[in-house]
């Protein structure tokens, strides 16, 4: 499993937290977009106020993503599955675990914890708009956050692997068929179908609309492309694991060591190595 990349910012519940360099770019973009949205709703606010509120809301948004990933991690730790790290990056967050769950019910519980956590935050921020009805600042920030957390929960419930919904779908198929490999292939196929749908819809929006709709379409297509690659990689990984299951090093080793003439010079020997790919000779 590849090592986490990015800047380490701390540790929570014993889990190292990283931010990918792409996070810095998307943080600035989201801050800009949120500030513009606040400016349209509250034109009396100064540029300084808009900038501070935009940055604060962005931090709370990524804090929500971190809370989402931590919820996965807490349940994984409950099942004695080691969580290697959590990384915030361009498309949200990623919790890296040391191994796959050993049972379908474990995967189901780990996967569903994320959407439930985001739905919980959506409820908390929505309640804050009711508790502080006279505060425009609280209303603006909380409204954005409850809507984005609700959207995050709904989006992650799509049955497209490796989204949370795709993992839930795999857990259901796995529990029904008792076949992890088959479940992964079915969930992977579902993930590819949803990814292609997102790409097509995103391109249609990008070329069929103007203004913000075009950028939203491009963003949707990029996310779809990312999911497509992730789904393909996940299925390929399981296929390789199935192929190598039960094999030993001796099964793939060559037991024959070819002999070469003693008077062969090094230049000729290097040509022989390049031609055959063999690096051991008698």
* Catalytic residue numbers, as ranges: 69
Helices 47-78 and 21-41 cross at an angle (nearest 10°) of: 130
Helices 136-156 and 104-131 cross at an angle (nearest 10°) of: 160
- Rounded Cα gap, residues 126 and 139, in angstroms: 9
Please choose, from the candidates 145, 144, 165, the residue with its C-alpha nearest in 3D space to the C-alpha of residue 154: 165
Please choose, from the candidates 116, 106, 232, the residue with its C-alpha nearest in 3D space to the C-alpha of residue 180: 106
Please, are residues 68 and 111 in contact by the beta-carbon 8 Å criterion?
A: no
Q: What strands, in cross-sheet order, belong to the sheet with 15-19? A: 7-12, 15-19, 83-89, 92-97
| Number of alpha helices (DSSP H) and beta strands (DSSP E) in the chain | 9, 4
Q: Which residues contact 270 (CB under 8 A, 6 or more apart)?
A: none
Q: Which helix (H) or strand (E) holds 231?
A: helix 212-244
- CB environment 237-273: b (16+ within 10 A), e (fewer): ebeeeeeeeeeeeeeeeeeeeeeeeeeeeeeeeeeee
Q: Is the preceding peptide bond at 53 cis, omega within 30 degrees of 0?
A: no
């Amino acid at each position: 499993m590849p090592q986490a990349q990015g800047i380490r910012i701390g540790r929570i519940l014993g889990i190292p937290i990283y931010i990918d360099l792409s996070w810095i770019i998307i943080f600035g973009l989201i801050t800009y977009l949120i500030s513009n949205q606040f400016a349209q709703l509250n034109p009396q606010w100064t540029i300084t106020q808009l900038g501070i509120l935009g940055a604060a809301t962005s931090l709370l948004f990524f804090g929500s993503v971190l809370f989402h990933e931590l919820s996965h991690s807490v349940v994984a730790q409950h099942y004695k599955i080691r969580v290697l790290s959590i990384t915030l990056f361009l498309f949200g967050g990623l919790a890296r675990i040391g191994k796959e769950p050993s049972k379908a019910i474990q995967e189901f519980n780990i996967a569903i914890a994320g959407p439930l956590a985001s739905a919980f935050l959506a409820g908390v921020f929505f309640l804050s708009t009711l508790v502080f009805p006279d505060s425009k600042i609280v209303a603006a920030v909380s409204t954005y956050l409850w809507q984005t957390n609700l959207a995050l929960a709904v989006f992650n419930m799509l049955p497209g692997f490796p989204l949370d919904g795709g993992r839930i779908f795999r857990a259901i198929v796995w529990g029904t068929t008792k076949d992890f490999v088959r479940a992964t292939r079915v969930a992977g196929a579902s993930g590819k179908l949803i990814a292609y749908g997102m790409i097509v819809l995103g391109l249609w929006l990008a070329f069929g609309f103007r203004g913000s709709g075009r950028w939203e379409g491009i963003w949707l297509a990029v996310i779809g492309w990312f999911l497509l690659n992730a789904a393909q990689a996940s299925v390929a990984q399981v296929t390789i694991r199935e192929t190598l299951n039960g094999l030993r090093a001796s099964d793939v080793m060559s037991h024959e060591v070819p002999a070469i003439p003693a008077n062969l010079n090094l230049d000729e020997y290097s040509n022989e190595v390049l031609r055959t790919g063999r690096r051991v000779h008698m």
